[in-house]
Structures are given as C-alpha cells and as structure tokens.
Amino acid sequence: MSEPGQKTSPDYGSLVRFLVEPFLESSTSLSLDCERAHANSRVWIRLAFDGEDKGRVFGRGGRNIQAIRTVIQGVAKIAGESVYLDIYDESGGTSRREAPSGSRSQGRKGSPRRLPLPKPNSKPRS
C-alpha cells in the first residue's frame, strides 16, 4: 500500500498486455518491454508479435491500435506522464511509432474529403 500523497505510476505493461492479448492467436507470441526515463515522466512501450496477428491488432483502418493508444494515453495523462508506443514486426524492425500522449498529430493523413457543392437554383429569371 502506498503512503498518502505518494505518487504511484501505472503498470503499463499489464495494461497493454490486457488490451492486446485478446487480438492475438497465441498470447505467447507477445513480447513486451517498458522503459522509463527522465525521472519516470516518460515511458516507452515496445511491442512485438507474430506477423499473422498484425491485422487483428491494428484492426480495420487502425481502429484497434488507435483505441489501445487512446486508453494508454488517458492513463498516462492522469499520471502526468508521456507514453510512446513502438510496435515491431517479427523481423525486429519498427512497423509503427505512436506519438507521445498529449501531442496532437499534424492533421489527418490522406487526401481531404470533398463535400458536394450545392445545386444551382434552376428557376428561370423573370
């Protein structure tokens, strides 16, 4: 039990394992590493899993991984920390790096969505 007023840091490893394992074919394929730096205010989380599981973990359009990222960032914000999430493929290379919590991306990726223009008024003039 922690003393009153003493700040405790969340267990990011257990949280990420809890969020990612349901998407994996085998939970033994998950490799997870958490590293703290700068007086424990920054946390790097590194994930690796089998390539077959990548589609399920990322989800359609990246929705699953974005939801996982949102949960982790919410917990980090409450704790006053920044979290970085690196996901590695089975060959050891980084496949995606998530932005730190509290930062905003520079807009949406891809082309902007075009809205239809209003139809011109077709009434004849008098």
Tens place of pLDDT per residue across the chain (126 aa)? 555 655 678 999 999 999 999 999 988 889 999 998 877 789 999 999 988 899 999 999 999 999 999 999 999 999 999 999 999 876 555 555 444 544 433 344 444 445 555 555 556 666
pTM: 0.66
Cα–Cα separations (whole angstroms), residue 74 to 7, 10, 45, 81, 111: 17, 11, 15, 10, 29
Question: Which of 95, 7, 89, 85 minimizes the C-alpha distance to 42?
Answer: 85
Residue type, position 114, single letter? R
* Domains, the chain, ordered by start: 12-97 (3.30.300.20)
